[in-house]
Every structure is written in structure tokens, then in C-alpha cells.
Structure 1
Amino acid sequence: MSARRATGGGLIDRSQPIRFTFDGKTYTGYAGDTLASALLANGVTLVGRSFKYHRPRGIFTAGIDEPNALVTVLKDGVREPNIPATGIEIYDGLTAESQNRFPSLEFDLAAVNQLAGPLFSAGFYYKTFMGPVIGPLKGTRFWMFCEHFIRRAAGLGRAGYEKDPVRYEKMNAFCDVLVVGAGPAGLMAATEAAKAGKRVILAEQDPRLGGSANWSGEEIGGKKATEWAEVKAAELTALDNVQILTRTTVWGYYDGNNLAAIERVTDHLPAAPIGVPRHRHWSIRAGTVVLATGALERPLVFPGNDRPGVMLAGAAERYAREFGVLPGEKIAVFTNNDSAYRAAAALKEAGAAIVAIIDVRPEISPAARALAEQAGIAPLTGHAVTDTVGKRLTKVMVQHFDAATGRLSGDPRPIEADCLVVSGGWSPAIHLASQAGGAPVWDGKLQAFLPPEPNQKWVGAGAFTGALTTAEALSTGRDAGLKATGKKASRVKLPEVAAPALDPFPAAVFEIKAKGKAFVDLQHDVTADDVRLAHREGFVSVEHLKRYTTLGMATDQGKTSNVPGLAIMADARGLPIEKVGTTRFRPPFSPISIGSLAAERHWRFKPDRLTPMHDWHVKRRARMMEAGLWHRPMIYGEPGETVEQAYAREAAAVRRSVGICDVSTLGKIAVKGPDAAGFLDHVYTNVFSTLPVGKARYGLMLREDGIAFDDGTTWRLGEHEFLMTTTTANAGKVMQHLEYYLDVVWPQLKVHVTSVTDQWAGAAVAGPNARKVLQACVTGTAVDNETLPHMGIVHGEIAGAPVMICRLSFSGELAYEVYCGAGHGRHVWEALMAAGEPFGITPYGLEALGALRIEKGHVTGAEIDGRTTARDLYLDWMLSKKKPFIGSALMDREGQIDWSRLRLVGVISLDGRPLGGGAHIVEKADGNGLGTSIGHVTASCYSPALQKYIGLALVRGGKARHGTRAFLSDPLRKRFGQVEIVSHHFFDPEGKRLHG
């Protein structure tokens, strides 16, 4: 190991060496190391290149606030970029690489950008690319010329294209008290809440509890802080009403005390155990939240403050105490507050040489002076660092400094150092409180923004509230825990803390104005001059400053740069910082994986909704899939069949003889009352008040803006009683739609609506022999053509169970929907199957149902997608001219009757290959299969009736394009080919089969 690893100390396990790779070179660390600490221990100080100027950058922090050391991790063939090395726990086989450099980290050609520094000042992209190109490309916008090159150069890490093989998971949780942060304050709050019998969730982003107590070197209650934290953690773990989530970052605070968190379940393991997700996304609803998120150290702004070897003082202390790593051998300290003196003493104790302590203040506290003596050096008070030297730090330049005026005097003198640790004070991590609502409050003593007054049920504790000492953290944590349980503050004696009485108030100095580039935001290469340029150009609002300069954007969210940037703007405006204000912090607090947001929902998140026939389907080899809120059969696969082969067989059986499909999941709403018929006339585009009792009618609903909302059939069961059916996925939305209009728009109507979806089981029997099946098992009514015409309704029995039968079809075949009470569902289904055996009845799933409907050109949610109108879908025959209805006032707006709108057509594959939903349709394709889109495929299948791959599509011009050819362009799936545009009625367009 390098000499940078201290000979002892730290919480790492030196008996467990771990090998890992960075930029192709193999290194060794220990269990408990982060990638950052292990690289430092191996003498690696250059870890990345900056965003704009490609300046060399080193490790700057030790935690989630790291702006420089963003790396790409390669695992299982997947590239994941932009991960802070400070948050990666090393494991055997870890492979990481640096980013934003070419051809190598040591020699980056793009570093030439530094020579064009003025061209890349704040807002350069707004000003540089607006004008026209001169010369051969005259008339072309400069942006159009440069865009290709800029997009190739932009960004930091490069994402991969490989499919992520790991699982992600979502969870819901409910608790009385959620404690965010498990430092001393959080542990005390969780303990008090748990003792009161409350259900407590304690979330901590680090692998172990204790927070800064793990590396503070303090004693709490006569024990080392790490031991005290371990005891508290063991006490909480033993309680049944406490759930501890380590490696869990709470990243968002939303209305109703709903907080979002991500748990990194297996990132620290070489491979995830079978069935265990990589990340688990938590949605936590809490009665009360205790925010004990601590504070983040700020840098000082001075020329050369971004050089590898410069890091925060608190980070250097943590590396020494927690990881047994010396960030340098000759270390200089630069500060405006007392906390850096504790870091100096810790580094000296770990074996480093402290070559200077430079303090901008003319006087320091006795406790700080005592720590300086421990570090073995007298502090240079009233001095400042004005520059740094070396590709990797070799020396710092120091000059006399007047903190009252901000002026430098005398000649700068060099001090040799390979590491400079800096501290500009501490900013409470108020991000979550800001997300919850309210404006942060400036504290002049701490020179920091404190959390706003709560407008949701949260209480603060520890450094989050500005209580920066461990003794204060314990006290505020206890009080917060009691307040969260509704109790008054206790006088129970707190454990004593052995720590020097350091002055927590920093000098109001954030910037040293000297010649050279002084960086405010290291992640985005924002300099102090950029902030002043924004001021000169009128971008003085903090929100405008953020967007014009990119200060505090992306993964950083202003963790280290926010207050220094605001201070420089305040100085430029001649205002105090509190008058300038601060930006609104937005979720996420730190980057989260897209996989966790799109994760499968854990079984505890919601109940499984199963139809009464579910077990029958499973026993018949049905492959189930989620549809809306339900589990439905996708196919009934025979051994060796593919999905396509199975649904083609099932659909062909329906066309040939007879099939049966479970339609219990369709939305079913009972509409009753004297005004029910008139209400339906308002809701539907067509007329329902004229519908005879015992008949059904197909209906279409629009939104108020004239866009199609849902379709389905409604059955008139009595003079004032209707049964409305909706699509499976839209059942809840339609119910809300109806209730809204009855409660708000037409409260005078005497109508009652009730969701009865779960009360009815349903089976669709379809095919040329469908009537014969019913005749074989239905009693109490005839089902011949006269008794049960198309859209007619009859009541009878099947195997002794009462049933209601409506003759309607979604497949285009002679078909019936048989409804019975949910308790009789399987009994009736099995009776129908038995009656259909002589005719070879075949159960069919959603895939076959989809193929049948595509062949007939029936629309579903894929076409009624929130953008289409009735005319787009050629359903304008359903728009009544005799009555107003929801959407009728706006459906004829110019934009909604324009000829160029996307309209429904059919497409046939001309190369014999499948069509993909979402694929673009282009008139002309270039050599790569790309072109100008004229529409897209909404649904596709293999048609057993046509023996071709077909699809429905929304295409500009609609019917006018029938008989023409176009191209399918699907670059994501690398599918290109020619198609023919035809009518969406592929099969039996006259509807002869429908009538048997």
C-alpha cells in the first residue's frame, strides 16, 4: 500500500483486502473503504476532468456532496456514469473508470478549452450560436452547424446501451415517525419516539449509523462516538416497532408527508443474490418527520481552489479517522472558522505534517489555538491563500488579508504542501425542508441559511437546525423525538460529550479576490467572474443566476456552491445575502437510478386483483400478465409454443369455430335514477335516452376539450337503470369522471352511480358456433336471432346460476357476453367450456383478443391516447347533432378538424416481418431507414386470418393515403421496412360474420 495509508486507525477492516480496478489499473483497498478513500490510499489524486475546461480535478469531499470525483462503474456489461466515488463501497472485482477525458486522464486533448476561457464564460451558449454562418454555409444558423460537435462534447460520463440485467423494486411504507439521518441527533430522536411506542423508520444514507460521530474523535457518554452509536443502533434494532434502513437516501419531500427514498440494496456486493433487487424505491407516508440531515461544509473561493490536492477540511478529517487515509503528507489548512482546527489535529495524529494553518480571522478562540498546538504549528491569522501551484498541488501562495475590508496586502509567499484543506463554514442540509415548502431563513452568526418554518408535520434536529456541536445535536434530537410523539421536552440527563468548545461562527468571508480563476461551482466550472458577469448582464435574481451560469444545477444541487455563489452576487449588488435570497431546492436531493423509479411494484405495494376464474386459467397453463389493476391471461400456451404461435392458434380457433375469453375485468358501473337516461345523453356523444329496455348501445365519451376519453357499451336494464361498461384500464377514471359531473356540474340530477366491477364475472363467447354453445347450456330463455338480436339482452340460467347475456362483439364474430354474480363465475365458465367441447371451444387470452380486434379495426386505449378526436378515429358518426354533450363545445376547434391531423389507418408489413408498436411511419427513408415521421404504429400483430403482419396506425392524412406505400422506421429496435397503408377494417369490413 502507499504511504498515504495511515499505519493504524479508521473503521476499515485491514484483515480483508479487496482488489479493484480504476482506469484499467488494479489497486488494493480494505473492507469499509469507499472508492475515493481507496484511491487516496493508493496515492491517486487525479480522478477526473472538469465539465467545460477539462481542468484536472481531484477528490474534494468525502460524501454525497462530491462535485469532482464522478466516475463510471462497469458491472455485468452495463455502464453507469456520473457516480460519486465518495459513495461507492469497494468490493472484489469493482471496475471503474474516469470520465470526460480523451485520450487519457493524464493527457486530455480537450484541456485546450482553458485557452479559450473567455469564450466559455457564463451564458456563452445563449450568445455564441444565435447568429448565421458566413462563408460556404451562409444562411445556416450557427447552432445548426455546431450542434453535432457540441452534443458529442457535452456531458460528463457516457451512458451505455446494454440492457440492465438486475431487478429494481418499489415499496410502500407507513409509520408514525420517520427520522431522516442517523447521526447523534437522529439516533436520539428515534430512541425517544420508539420508547413512546411509535412506529419508527430510521433512514441513513451511509452503511453504518452514527453520522459524523463515527469520525469526530469525540467521546459520548464515556464511550468513543463510534461505540456509542453502535450501542444505540443495537438498542433500536432490538425493538419491534423500529425499522432501520441503512444505505438509504431520502431524496424527496412531497405533500401529505409523503417522502421518497432509495435504498441501495446490493451496490456494495460483487453480485446480487437471487431474487434480491439492486435498488429499492420507498414511498414513505409518515405522521411526523424528524429531519436530522446534518450540515455540509462549504469551500472558500480563491484562485486555484480546484487543483487536485485541495479538499474540504471535514473530508480530510473523515478520511483520516474513518478510513485511516492521509490525503497528503505535507498539509496546509485554510479556514474562516474553528472546525478546521479539529481536522488539523486529527491529521497530525494520523501521521501527516501540518505545514500551515491559514486563517482569515485576526483572532481565534482559545480552543482553536489549543488544537493548533496539538497540530504542532502556530496559525497564520489575518492571512489568506491567494493561489495554488502545480498540476497536482505542490505549494500554496499566502498573503496578508483584512477580513473587514477584503483587501490583500504585502507580497505573496509560497508554502510547500501537497494537500490544502479548506473550510468556509457549514450549511445545514435543508434541502428536504425546502422541498416541503417555505423560504429558508438567513442566520447572520452562522453565515448560513436555516430551515423555514414548517408547513407540513416535520421537526428539525442537530446540525440541520444550526446546532453544530454534538452536545447540541443530542439535546435537539431528544427534543425532536419527544415533539414528534406529542410530548413536552424532557429533563432526562443527556450523555456527556468530551469535545473542545470550538466557536461555530465563521467569519463573513467567502471569497479571496485575487488574480486568477476562482471556482464557485466545481462541477460546472462556474467561476466568481461568471457570477459577476451574470450581475452585469442583468441576471440578478438567484433563480436566473442559477440557470444563466448553471450554478448549483445537475447532481450537485448547490451542496457546496450555493452559499458562496449567493455571497458573491450579494457583494456585486451591494446587498446582504438575506436580501438576495436562495434558490429553491428541488428533488431529488441526490441522483437516483431510473431503474428504481420504473421498478416493478413489490407485492406489498398493492393487492393482486384476480378474476373468479383465475385459478382455472393458471391450471390450464395460462401465462398471466398485469392489465390495469388486474391479472389476466395473456396466452394459454401449449408445450413448445411461442407467444405468437399461441395467440395465432387461439385467434384462428375463434374465427373457425368458437372461443371463450374472461372479460370480468371490464369496468362496470351501475347508473340509476329518474334522470339516468338524460345524464348519459350528457356524458356520451350519442343518444341513450331513446335506447329501449333490454338493449345495449356502443357509446363514446369525450373530455371537455373535445378529445376522445373512453368507449364501451351501456345496457338499459330498466326504465331508470343502466349498466355501463368501460375499458379495463379506464374504469377508475370513468367513475371519477361521472362523479365529478354529478357532484359539481349537474348536482340537481337525480342519478346515483356505483362501481360494480367486482360484483360481476364475465365471459365472452365468440365465433360461428357461439350460439350453439349457449343453446346447449342456457335455460330460462331462448338465444335465437329473434329473441336475442344484435345488442339485445336476455336473462336466464346456466347450470342453475342466474346469468345476463348481451349479444355484442369485440372480435367481429357472432359473440355474446355472459355475466353472472362473481361467486358463480368459475361455475358458469366451466359449464360453458363443457357445452363447447363438441365444437372445440378454445380459451383465448389478451394477445388473441388484441389480434382479433386489430383485424376488425376496433380502437382501444392505444388509439384513444388522450390526443385523438372522434374524427381522427372515424367515429364521427357517433357525434349527435341533436343534443349537447361533454366536449361538444370544443370538438370543432380549428386544430381538431385540420386535415393534417393523425388519423386511423391500417398498415401491412411488406417484408413479412413483425411491426412494433410505437414505430414511426415515414414517407421517404434515407439509407439508414430514417425520415420525416408522418405518424406511428399504435398496435400490431400477426393476423391468422390474413396470414400477414398487420397493425393499426395514426397517420397524417388518414384515408387519403389508403393504397399507398410508406416506410416503417424503428431505430430503437433496429427495424426498418416497407409497409402498405390500407383501411383499418382488415377483415370482414361489411360485418357479415357479426350477424351469424
Structure 2
Amino acid sequence: MSGYRLKRGGDIDRSCPINFRWEGRCYTGFAGDTLASALLASGVRMIGRSFKYHRPRGLIAAGLDEPNFIVQLERGASTTPNLKAPYVELYDGLDAAPVNAWPSLRFDLLAVNSIFKRFIPAAFYYKTFMWPTWRVFEPLIRKAAGLGASPKLTDPDSYEQTSAHIDVLIVGGGIAGLAAAQHAAISGKSVMLVTGGRHWGGRLAGTSDSVEGKPAAVWIKDMLRTLSAMPNVALMTRTLATGHFDHGLVSLCERLTDHIPTHERSGPRQRFWRVRADALILATGAIERPLVFRGNDRPGVMLAGAARAYLHRHAVVAGREIVVATTNDSAWYAAFDLAEAGATIIAIVDTRPSPSPALVERAEGLGIMVHSNMAPAAAIGRRAVRAVRIGRVSPTGRIDSPAQAVRCDLLLMSGGWNPAVHLHSQGAGRLTFDHDLNSFVPEDGSPGHRSIGGAGGDFARYSTLAAAREQAVTRRPGPPHAALWSISESDVPDAEAWVDFQNDVTAGDIALAARENFRSVEHLKRYTTLGMASDQGKTSNVNGIGILSTLLAKPMEAIGTTKFRPPYDPIPFGLLAGHRIGDGLRPRRQLALHDWHAGRNASYEEYGGWMRPAAYLRPGESEADAVRREVLAVRTAVGIFEASPLGKIEVKGPDAAAFLDLMYVNRISTLKPGRCRYAIMLSENGTVFDDGVVTRLTDDHFLVGTTSGHAATITEAFREWLQCEWTTMRVLVEDVTTSWAVANVVGPKTRSVLHMLASDIDFSADAFAHMTAQRGYIGGIPARVARVSFTGELSYEIAVPWRCAGALWEALIAAGSSHGMVPFGVEALMTMRIEKGFLHIGADTDGTTLPQDIGFGAIMAKKTQDFVGRRSAHRPDGLRGDRRSFVGLEATDSNAAPLAIGAHILPAGTTQPQPSEGWVTSSAWSPTLGAPLALAMIERGEKRIGESVRVWDLGAWREARITRACRYDPQGARLDV
């Protein structure tokens, strides 16, 4: 395909040349060009390689239906993979490269795959490489496959998100969309009209066609002037509707700076819109179908509508000696426009026996030879088309006469048009097959939206305008089509006739799938990868369905279509994230004493949405060294830990005790004032949801402790149950997590520190027993103190008003300085709880863990009254004897490293991976015991104490023994002091 630029015409600015790079070479285009049009004008023929066989590929389409021209744009952190070149607007300094080709586009080593094509047909990977092991071949296949490379660096761009509600949303900026917008706006409705590109007018933009007696360009310009003057109309270019969801929600991707040179960009790159409209009008147009014949994938074979678009939008003629092959009238007009622009049209090949006499007469007037009742049998050429063989074609697509060669460097094809029904289908709209148009079209009466113009199957311009102005989808017959799903010189579907250009799916592959009984269209899709490329089968799906229909002798409507899924075209993940990245991902909550910890070189990490010290590093210390030092300090002296993030919910009222009995596995109503009880909560499915310490402050007042990340969730759960189920209960619920700051003083010297404080609370063992709570004053500050422990050491949890945290903390630090007090972080706390065998929700449990798995079976059995999750926990699966239970593990090999979290547990003597009996849930080096310790969930674990097992992780084996969960002070002597 030897394309060239005309001296006049097109929507480009010849006074503004633009320099860009393609595959490392410098080229020049003009403002208004796309990457595709600029390279086409420069005579570049081969622009890509196919996914599987790495066959040479050329430009086919002029929009998002382009399957071949997929590029990697820019480099480094700004790189974006798998963009479609016709949609990439040219800007100065643009740097693009082809994908799926190595070491270069012209010389691709993996093109050798074509030689072995017969050995790697569709779904070969399901039937090959079964020996010796799939793991040998998988890395090689993954390395050979793939398109562009994902960015390895953080995206430097920013993205915005916004929402809108309007009366009428119209998707599509062609004549149907413009006319519908005018009609809706005149009635006073608020209107948003969006189009994916920068042009208005759709396929008519720049053509010499007339609309309502005016040249198309004049009609479009007048319509835009009218709409722009209306305050109730929003016109949005470069805005693609990417999805249509429940309740009329439409997502839009607005490209803000993608067309600007990278060094000049400022502000967000793209904006994500969530739009709800009372009426949705889909004027998304139609997609031209290729013809399926031998060699139709060669560079130089292009859709006729695409060639016409490049001519009128960019003043680019796609070839010099052109043959046009078609089943319908639309390609004739492309031939006429190209001929009038100076291109040589060798012939028009029409599969219909009797094309329109008016068209034939006009073609002959332009000196174009017409071949009716004929079709292309094969494109000739390797890296580019040099000729096409044509022959007489039967209604079934069989070439039944000797084919003759016609020289050309560009073969334009048109197999008909498919309404762009993607958004219609995503919005639960149904499709029907129109045998006049040979297309799937939207059914009338779809809820919440209407399709007009080409999207509704109306290809007649004046009926389109009338329908658009009435916001209806009434169709009138379009140009006659001859359905030829595949053209072949034999009765067997041709294995060299390409249906899905990007994924290398041929008519022969579809026949293979049908022979192997993959006859559902969804099975066909997955077996052959038809329609699974980055273009989602926009040019291939209907042809593929048609071929399957012919093979199975079933009507098209019986075959159906695959499911249309959003987004319509790939969008950046950053667009979906918006500002919710980094520090903006979610609120990063800070401790009451955040600055104090930072001043002591705390290593901050996020735990449950809170920024908390993992450890306090001293000069020259690693984090592991700091954790060991902190653990030993707590075990031998005293440590201090800020536990402010722990959830704190006050439940108050005459029915508070009865309500908590319904919410927890434990019986809370038997708890006496001033006492604490460890309790767990279940989900409605019976799985362990949360745990914490519940303190009864008075008869009708409870303080419920939760994990740090669940306070808000449990508060809302409490309120929902009270509002929706137990509406007569007299209970108030309030989350007071950030009202009270908490300092934990932990270790054998804790009382010595607390006795140095001015307080009316007696901290002695006789006056303040384990799992009790008291209220009083410390240094004049009101405090709630609970004697609870998550470390196995003597521990007092002191809660004071948030604003008083600093005063309390400084007093504790001063009092503890003479006793060797050190602050310790979350990692030291986690290490000590593993030594003690305490459960950590979310680490040692998952969405299948039941209370009986973690030792609460007996407690649950004693509680006869109902509670949330009780019935679900007693389903047959929960009563299995081989359920996993919570136990400990100790490594018995010479490896001193902790067991890997997530490692699988297998029976002793196992040498090959087999079904797992459980996994490691928590693991750490124990500074106290001088050995690696772990916790695990293992099948029948509580009955296998002392049994040796093997631990497997990423191909490495370890030896271990099942133990009780608690390995440190199992009698609890250090708590009872």
C-alpha cells in the first residue's frame, strides 16, 4: 500500500508540521493527523505483526475497530501499551513503536511460527505440552505471547472523576446524534452530546455528500453553531462512552491532554464521567465488516470505509492502483471519491449479480471496470499486496470459476455493516438478526435507551435524520447486502482466510472448533480466541458467527452473539482510580501521638487504615533487629505501645446486653460490671468476622472492642440490625474510637511504672485482676483502664480523651525511664502474640473459618439462644471431621528462617505436591524462645499435636511439627501476677 498525501483537502493544518518517531525513525505529519494517517501518508505499509503467527499486518480501519495497528506509545513511566493508531492524535515529539515484534517489525524472529502453523491450530495449547510437564512450556509460551509491555514505573499522570445527571445523553456525533441533540434541546431538555474523536459528523465529515440539500460540511457546521448557542447543550469531543450499566449509568472517558506534546501537558490526562440520564440515545453508528478470503490479512487490504475516511479527514490516498471488492453499495462511493481525488481505480468487484445500474453507469463514466457476481479469491503478496485473484462466486461463497489476477497495491473490501450495538447490549438491550441487512440490530422497545441511525440499523441518511428528530428507531430498508461470511475456492473453510486479524483466527479454525463440538458461540470464542483481542472482535465477531452458522446449518439468530462487556475500548487503570492513589487511596489515619513516634525514628506502615509504627529504629539497626530488641525489652522489663486505633464502640440502653447476646457467639449478658470478656462475632454465613474484648461498664453500658479496621463496619452492622430486624430494642450505638486514645503498658515491671503515677486507681494484683476494668484519674486526666493482654505479659490498657494523649504518654515515659521502658511497634506486638498463640482476625482466619475451627465449638454449643451466624455455622460442612483447625507449627530442620506465610502443609514423607492439608497463617522468629515459630490452619490439627509434617512453598520443602498454638507461658503464670 503506497499511500500519499494530497496537496489540498482534509481537516489538517499544513502550516503546522509535526515531527514524530515510529520504530525509531523520524517522520513528519500535520496538525489534525493521527498516527495512522501520518504513516499512511508517508507510504508505510507494514505496521504490525499478528499475535500468534507474527504475520505481517497493515492498516485496516480508521477507528477503534482497527485490529492490526496496535502501538506502544512513549517510553519510561509515561508509556502506554496497546493503543490503536487511528485513535492516537499526532503531537510534536510523539514516540511510538510496534508491539509483538522482535527484534524489529520488518525482521521478526517469531514469524517462524507461520511455518509450523499446521501444528499449532486453534486451542493447540489445550491438547499439546501434556508431557513431561506444563511448567516446562508455560514460561516459553507466555514469553512468546503478548502485545505491548505494561509500564514498570509509577504512572506520572493524574486523572479526574466527576458525575452528572442530565435529561438526555446522546452518544455519537454523526448526523443522527446531531439531529437528535437539536430536537431534544429545542424542547428545553438538558442535553449532553459526546463523540469519541475530535471530529463531528461521523463518516460524512469532509465528504461531498449533501444533507437536507446542503453540503455535509456546511450542514454539520450550521448544526454545531446552533447547538453551541444553546445553554442547555454540552458538546464534548474526545469523549468515549466506555460502558452502559444498571439503572442507566453510562461511563465516559474524556481525553484532556493526550493530544498535547508531553512537555506541554498540565493538569489531568483524562477525566472519568459517571452520567445518569433520563433518556439515553445511542447514535454510535455502524462498523464495516471485512470480507473473509485467502490472504485478506496482507498489508494493503483495507476496509473501503476506512480509505474514504482517510481521504476526507486527512487528505490521504491509501494506494495508487486500487481494486474495490464489496457486497454492498457503500464501497462504490469510496471508489468514486478516490477516483475523483486522482487515484487509479482498477476495478470494482461486486458479489451481487446486479449492482445498481446508476452506480455502474457512474463507475464506467470514471473509467472503472466493473465485475459483478465476482469476489476476491485470494490476495497475492507477502509483505504487501501486489495483486488479487478474482472469480465468479456462488451464493454460498464458493469461487466456481477459474480466478484471474488483477494487479493492485491496495485492495479495498466491504462485507456489509454491523450496527455498533455494544452499549445497547451492555444495558440489557436485546438483539435480533435482520436478514435484509445481514446484521444483528437492536430490538425495539429496549428499556431506558434507544438506538438511532446506523446503530439502529438505519443506513438510509434521510430516514436517519427523521428518526433522530423523533428519537425513534424506526428502520427503513438500507442498501441491499449479499451475505458472504467466507469466500473460498473449495467447499472447506480456508485455513488462510482470516477472521480475527489480531488473534490469527481463521475460517479453518472455526471449522475445527465446530468439528470438535465447540458449537456454542461462547465456547467458540474461548476455544479459538475469536473476539478476545484488544479490539474485542469489532470487525470479526459477526463474520465468525456467520461461518459457524453456515457450518452448523443454523440461522444466525439461533447462534446468537457473545456477551458484550465494558469497557468498549481499553482505558487506563489510573482513570478508574482517579485521585484514589497513594495518599489519596483512602484516608490515612494518624495516631494521637503521630509526631512523637515520628520523632523517635518510627518506621511507619499502614495497618487497618492507620499509619502505625512497625518498629522504632536506632542508628545502625535493621527492622528485624529493632523487633528483637523491643520484644526482649517487653519480656524482661516494660514497654509502651499506642493502641489508639483499636475499635471502641459504646453500646448503651436497657436492651444492650440482650442485643450483644444476639451479635456475639459468647453470652455477654452474664458479664458483670467491671469485667471484660474476649468475644467473637460471626457473619450471617457463620464465618468468623471479628473479635475483641467486651467490657461491661455498668448494667446498661458496654464498651465493645473491635479490630482496628472493623470499627466503622461493625458500628454500621449494629445499627442495621437494630433498624431493620430488632426494631423494638432500646439500644444506642456510638463509635468512639477517635474519642479515646490508648496507651498499653506491658511487661513484668508495669506495676512499678504505674505506681509512680498520681492516680486514684489501685493497680495491685488483688485490687485489679486480669480481665477487669476500672475508671478513675491518672495525673488528673479521666481514664478507663482495662487489664487485658495481647502479648502474654502483665498489661494495662489505659484510655484517656484523645486530646489528653500527650500528657498521659509523657507521664508514662517519665515514670518508666528508670525501669528500662521502651516504645515498641506493631511487629514486636505481632511477634509476641505468635509466641503466645493468640489469634489474629484476617491473618489466621479467612472467609471460610468457622468458630469451631478456632476453639469456640464448646462455647457455641453451650449457648442455646440464637445469634447471628449460628445456624449457618452448623451446616453439614461445618460439622465435618476433617475441617482445618488453629494450631501451632515449629520448624524441625536446621533452617533458622521462619516458615513462609501461606506455605502449604503436607503429610510427612511427601515428595511431590498434592492436595494441601492447610497452610501457615502467621510466622516469625521468636526472640524469646530463640527459634522460628508459626501458626497454621491444618486439617484435624487439634488431633495431630506432635505429628511431623512437610511444609511446601514455591518449590522448597521444610520439615515441621504440629504443636499447640501457645508456646510461651502456656499456663498463663505471667498474666496471673
What TM bracket, shorter-length normalisation?
Answer: 0.7 to 0.9
Instruction: Find the counterpart in structure 1 of residue 197 from structure 2.
Output: 206
Instruction: Find the counterpart in structure 1 of residue 481 from structure 2.
Output: 506
Note the 1:168-183 alignment, pairs <5 A: 171=161, 173-176=163-166, 178-183=169-174
Unpaired runs of at least 5, structure 1: 131-139, 490-500
Q: Which moved more, 1:440-449 or 1:243-252?
A: 243-252
Structure 2 contact 452–467 (Cα < 8 Å) conserved: yes
Out of 410, 425, 440, the position equivalent to 1:419 is: 410
| Amino acid paired to 1:19 | F
Q: Which moved more, 1:683-692 or 1:68-77?
A: 68-77
In the alignment, does 2:531 pair up with 1:541?
no
C-alpha distance in 2 between matches for 1:641 and 1:201: 60
CA drift of 1:198 comes to 7.2
Out of 678, 685, 698, the position equivalent to 2:678 is: 698
Structure 1 contact 167–278 (Cα < 8 Å) conserved: yes
Instruction: Find the counterpart in structure 2 of residue 518 from structure 1.
Output: 497
In the alignment, does 2:574 pair up with 1:590?
no
C-alpha distance in 2 between matches for 1:233 and 1:622: 61
C-alpha distance in 2 between matches for 1:146 and 1:851: 39
Instruction: Find the counterpart in structure 2 of residue 61 from structure 1.
Output: 61
Q: Which moved more, 1:324-333 or 1:749-758?
A: 749-758
Note the 1:323-722 alignment, pairs <5 A: 323-365=314-356, 368=359, 372=363, 376-377=367-368, 379-391=370-382, 392-401=384-393, 410-452=401-443, 457-468=448-459, 480=471, 504-515=479-490, 516=494, 517-593=496-572, 601=580, 608=587, 610=589, 613=592, 628=608, 656-664=637-645, 666=647, 668=649, 670=651, 672=653, 674=655, 676-678=656-658, 680-703=660-683, 707-722=687-702
Note the 1:667-816 alignment, pairs <5 A: 668=649, 670=651, 672=653, 674=655, 676-678=656-658, 680-703=660-683, 707-731=687-711, 733-734=713-714, 750=729, 752=731, 754=733, 756-757=735-736, 760-768=739-747, 782-796=762-776, 803-816=783-796
**SS of the residue aligned with 1:357?**
strand
| Amino acid paired to 1:699 | A
Note the 1:284-299 alignment, pairs <5 A: 288-299=279-290
Instruction: Find the counterpart in structure 1 of residue 802 from structure 2.
Output: 825
C-alpha distance in 2 between matches for 1:553 and 1:995: 65
C-alpha distance in 1 between matches for 2:148 and 2:898: 32
Structure 2 contact 591–644 (Cα < 8 Å) conserved: no
CA drift of 1:871 comes to 5.9
C-alpha distance in 2 between matches for 1:49 and 1:902: 54
Structure 2 contact 65–535 (Cα < 8 Å) conserved: yes
* 1:850-909, Cα deviation, whole Å (9 max, x unpaired): 555455443131222224444655666755445376357537748864277785546799
Out of 133, 141, 147, the position equivalent to 1:157 is: 147
* 1:547-583, Cα deviation, whole Å (9 max, x unpaired): 3443323434331122222233333444442343322
In the alignment, does 2:10 pair up with 1:18?
no
Structure 1 contact 777–832 (Cα < 8 Å) conserved: no
C-alpha distance in 2 between matches for 1:608 and 1:511: 57
Compared CA separation, residues 937 and 115, structure 1 to 2 (3 A): closer
Q: TM-score, normalised by structure 1?
A: 0.80
| Amino acid paired to 1:43 | G
C-alpha distance in 1 between matches for 2:405 and 2:162: 57
Instruction: Find the counterpart in structure 2 of residue 37 from structure 1.
Output: 37
C-alpha distance in 1 between matches for 2:140 and 2:275: 41
C-alpha distance in 1 between matches for 2:523 and 2:785: 64
C-alpha distance in 2 between matches for 1:215 and 1:978: 75
| Amino acid paired to 2:803 | R
Compared CA separation, residues 723 and 703, structure 1 to 2 (3 A): same
Out of 856, 863, 879, the position equivalent to 2:844 is: 863
| Amino acid paired to 2:348 | I
CA drift of 1:65 comes to 1.6
C-alpha distance in 2 between matches for 1:832 and 1:310: 77
C-alpha distance in 1 between matches for 2:727 and 2:188: 49
Q: TM-score, normalised by structure 2?
A: 0.81
**SS of the residue aligned with 2:5?**
coil
CA drift of 1:666 comes to 1.7
Q: Which moved more, 1:751-760 or 1:39-48?
A: 751-760
Compared CA separation, residues 786 and 5, structure 1 to 2 (3 A): farther
C-alpha distance in 2 between matches for 1:421 and 1:642: 67
Structure 1 contact 98–105 (Cα < 8 Å) conserved: no
Note the 1:933-972 alignment, pairs <5 A: 938=921, 969=953
CA drift of 1:249 comes to 3.9
**SS of the residue aligned with 1:343?**
helix
C-alpha distance in 1 between matches for 2:651 and 2:249: 34
| Amino acid paired to 1:883 | T
Instruction: Find the counterpart in structure 2 of residue 135 from structure 1.
Output: none
CA drift of 1:76 comes to 0.7
**SS of the residue aligned with 2:64?**
coil
Instruction: Find the counterpart in structure 1 of residue 46 from structure 2.
Output: 46
Q: Which moved more, 1:543-552 or 1:349-358?
A: 543-552
**SS of the residue aligned with 1:601?**
coil
* 1:776-808, Cα deviation, whole Å (9 max, x unpaired): 778675555444432223334568775544332
* 1:132-160, Cα deviation, whole Å (9 max, x unpaired): xxxxxxxx758759854873576343746
Structure 1 contact 774–783 (Cα < 8 Å) conserved: yes
C-alpha distance in 1 between matches for 2:459 and 2:554: 27
Structure 1 contact 905–954 (Cα < 8 Å) conserved: no
Q: Which moved more, 1:222-231 or 1:982-991?
A: 222-231
Structure 1 contact 773–832 (Cα < 8 Å) conserved: no
**SS of the residue aligned with 2:9?**
coil
Compared CA separation, residues 765 and 289, structure 1 to 2 (3 A): farther
| Amino acid paired to 2:62 | A
Q: Which moved more, 1:791-800 or 1:688-697?
A: 791-800
* 1:651-706, Cα deviation, whole Å (9 max, x unpaired): 777665443425246263637554x5455445433333322123221112344655
CA drift of 1:722 comes to 3.5
Note the 1:230-309 alignment, pairs <5 A: 247-262=238-253, 271=262, 288-309=279-300
CA drift of 1:318 comes to 1.9
Q: Using the aligned pairs only, state the percent identity.
A: 36
Compared CA separation, residues 603 and 77, structure 1 to 2 (3 A): closer
**SS of the residue aligned with 1:566?**
helix
| Amino acid paired to 2:691 | D
* 1:473-508, Cα deviation, whole Å (9 max, x unpaired): 66655655xx99xxxx9xxxxxxxxxxx99544334
Structure 1 contact 438–453 (Cα < 8 Å) conserved: no
Instruction: Find the counterpart in structure 2 of residue 6 from structure 1.
Output: 6
Q: Which moved more, 1:1-10 or 1:227-236?
A: 227-236
CA drift of 1:313 comes to 1.1
CA drift of 1:115 comes to 6.2
Structure 1 contact 616–826 (Cα < 8 Å) conserved: no
C-alpha distance in 1 between matches for 2:186 and 2:772: 66
C-alpha distance in 2 between matches for 1:933 and 1:439: 45
* 1:596-649, Cα deviation, whole Å (9 max, x unpaired): 557761699998475794886799698876655666676788999987788778
Structure 2 contact 712–735 (Cα < 8 Å) conserved: no
Q: Which moved more, 1:860-869 or 1:181-190?
A: 181-190
Q: Which moved more, 1:685-694 or 1:716-725?
A: 716-725
When the two chains are superposed, the root-mean-square deviation of aligned CA atoms in Å is 5.2
Structure 1 contact 774–835 (Cα < 8 Å) conserved: yes
C-alpha distance in 2 between matches for 1:114 and 1:194: 59
**SS of the residue aligned with 1:47?**
strand
C-alpha distance in 2 between matches for 1:845 and 1:699: 25
